[in-house]
Structure formats: C-alpha cells, structure tokens
Amino acid sequence: MRVLVTGATGFVGQHVVAELLRKGNSVKCLVRDPGSPAAAGLLELGAQILPGDITDAACLSAAAAETDAMVHLVGIIFESRDATFDQVHRQGTLNALSAASASGVKRFVYMSALGAAPDAVSAYLKSKWECEEAVRSSGLPYTIFRPSVIYGRGGEFIHMLISQVKIMPLVPIVGNGRYQMQPVTATDVASAIVSSLKQPAAAGKVYELGGPEPLSYNEMVDILVHVMSKWRFKLYVPVSIMRLIAFFAEKTQRKPMVTRDQIKMLLVDNVCDIQPARDDLGFTPVNFFQGIDELLS
C-alpha cells in the first residue's frame, strides 16, 4: 500500500512510519524540514521524504498523488503567533482532506485526542473535535483514533516525568494527583493505526486507544519510582499556583513548559474503552509498568 504520512517527524509519526515500513508499505512523508535529524532517520528507514507543509494546499495535493491511504498526524499542543489551532489543526486538516479526495485515497486516518468534544474543557480538544467533524463529513473512507496519553522513546511527557524522578527528591504534582489517564505506548498506537488501513471493519469508526488499565497521576509516579529504584516524595502544587506559572510561561517562553490549556486537560480524567479496538484491530496494549520497564532498559 502507498501511504502518505503527515506529521511524520513527530513523536508518534516516527513510530507510525517505522511500523508501516515494517509491514511492507511504501511510505511518503511530508516534512517541513527535510534536513532535520528526524527526517534523516525516516530516510534511513526507507521512507520517501517530500518537503512541504500542510498549510500549503498545492504542495499537499502534489504529495498525495498516486496514494492509496493518508495518515494525518500533524498537531500542536499549544498555540504561537506562527501556528494556531485554527491554522494547523482546522485548515491543515481541510487541506489534507481535499488532497486525499482529489487523489482518491482508499482510507484517511486522522489522529484526534481522547476528550475531543464540542464542549471540551480546552481549546486544543475543541479544535480536534472540529477536525473530526470535517473528516466525518468529507465523504472519504476514514478511521479516527482518540488516544489517551502516549509515551515512549522520544516522547516529551514521559521523559520530563522520568527526569523529575531521576533528579528531584520532591516530584511536583499538579493538584491532588488523583486525576486518571490510560497511558499507551507509541508502539501500540502505531500498530493500531497501521492495522486499521487494511481492515474493512475500521472504515467509518472512531477508536479510543489507551493502556489496559486507568492510572492516577500519583500511581504513574509511584510506578516510575519503583522501576527506577528511587526514594522520592511527592510535592503537591496547588492548581492556582500552576496556572500562574503557566501564565508567565506563555508570556515569556517561545515553547512554554506548561500552558493553562494543558492544565485544564490534565485535571480531567482521560480514560477510555479499548474493547472496540481489541475486537476490530487486535489491539493488545502493554501495561504501564511493562512499558516503562522496556523504555528504561
């Protein structure tokens, strides 16, 4: 199968491209910076690198020519003056859908996020919902994925947490740490996405992806502490203080370490039902303990 991947140099994208190639597919990657180390890594794996940007409709249409499927992974977690949710998520997805329609792709895969809804708590999740709606109304054979927190090699979230446990005797926790998520490895997410491309049952479906069990943030930290054989205490930081820190980070940092929008998402339970993905795609995610053990080994 000839597959075009957008967002291929991102954390999840690199795993998806590797899995596509492992399964014998021909892969084209639309990349903003063909000279980046990530692009070089994809080229070494055997992918074709095409310079371009999803905000350039003509460039995207050319890349999508003679393509059987498109996997659209481009996304940003916070906005900047140069990249807003409207520009990257909404308009980028509309451009991708237009290009996919013109090239007659047999499957369009979109990676949304768990919690995407018209009344979601954050601007990020609302924008993801708008993209889902565009995909559903496109007339294309589609599959949408809504993953919980994704972790693995190259993932910023988990490596931040690992670094905190490694060097800080007091691990900071926003609020009470009881909010739940269902962490899933990037490898498992990539496997589900690639499996869906040739699975007729996946057409027109929305799949939630997560690990086999929900965990609170406190429990995730406890597992990391145990696997890393550390002795650590938790420092609970009031939400009001974290919001203030995020406000100043947004105003002073080009790439904020945390945003107020991210705090909103963190404090809402992020758990899901993975049974449909199990039934249709053979989705068998590893648990967090095993995933972390493999990551650190």
The domain of 102 spans 2-148+184-210+271-285
Asked if the structure places residue 245 within a domain, the reply is no
pLDDT tens by residue, 210-252: 999 999 999 999 999 999 999 999 999 999 999 999 999 989 9
Asked if the structure places residue 178 within a domain, the reply is no
Residue 17 and residue 5 in contact, taking contact as beta carbons nearer than 8 Å: yes
Question: For the chain, what percent of residues have pLDDT higher than 90?
Answer: 87
Q: Which of 73, 142, 27 is nearest to 17 (CA)?
A: 27
- CATH value at residue 64: 3.40.50.720
User: How much is the mean pLDDT over the chain?
Assistant: 94
pLDDT tens by residue, 46-95: 999 999 988 888 889 999 999 999 999 999 888 887 889 999 999 999 99
Q: What is the pLDDT of residue 78?
A: 86
Position 257 pLDDT exceeds 90: no
Residue 156 and residue 181 in contact, taking contact as beta carbons nearer than 8 Å: no
Torsion angle of the four alpha carbons 49, 51, 52, 58, in this order, in degrees rounded to the nearest 10: -90
How many C-beta atoms lie closer than 10 Å to residue 216's C-beta?
16
Position 5 pLDDT exceeds 90: yes
Position 139 pLDDT exceeds 90: yes
- Into how many domains does the chain fold? 1
Asked if the structure places residue 156 within a domain, the reply is no
Strand 215-216 versus strand 48-51 pairing type? unpaired
Asked if the structure places residue 157 within a domain, the reply is no
Asked if the structure places residue 249 within a domain, the reply is no
The pTM of this model reads 0.94
Asked if the structure places residue 31 within a domain, the reply is yes
Question: For the chain, what percent of residues have pLDDT higher than 70?
Answer: 100
pLDDT tens by residue, 147-193: 999 999 888 889 999 999 999 999 999 999 999 999 999 999 999 99
Residue 113 and residue 125 in contact, taking contact as beta carbons nearer than 8 Å: yes
Asked if the structure places residue 91 within a domain, the reply is yes
Q: What is the pLDDT of residue 82?
A: 81
Place of tokens 């399964």: 23
3-state DSSP of the chain: CEEEEECCCCHHHHHHHHHHHHCCCEEEEEECCCCCHHHHHHHHHCCEEEECCCCCHHHHHHHHCCCCEEEECCCCCCCCCCCCHHHHHHHHHHHHHHHHHHHCCCEEEEECCCCCCCCCCCHHHHHHHHHHHHHHCCCCCEEEEEECCEECCCCHHHHHHHHHHHHCCEEEEECCCCCEECCEEHHHHHHHHHHHHCCHHHCCEEEEECCCCCEEHHHHHHHHHHHCCCCCEEEEECHHHHHHHHHHHHHHCCCCCCCHHHHHHHCCCECCCCHHHHHHHCCCCCCHHHHHHHHHC
Ramachandran angles phi, psi of 254, nearest 5°: -65, -40
Position 291 pLDDT exceeds 90: yes
Asked if the structure places residue 76 within a domain, the reply is yes
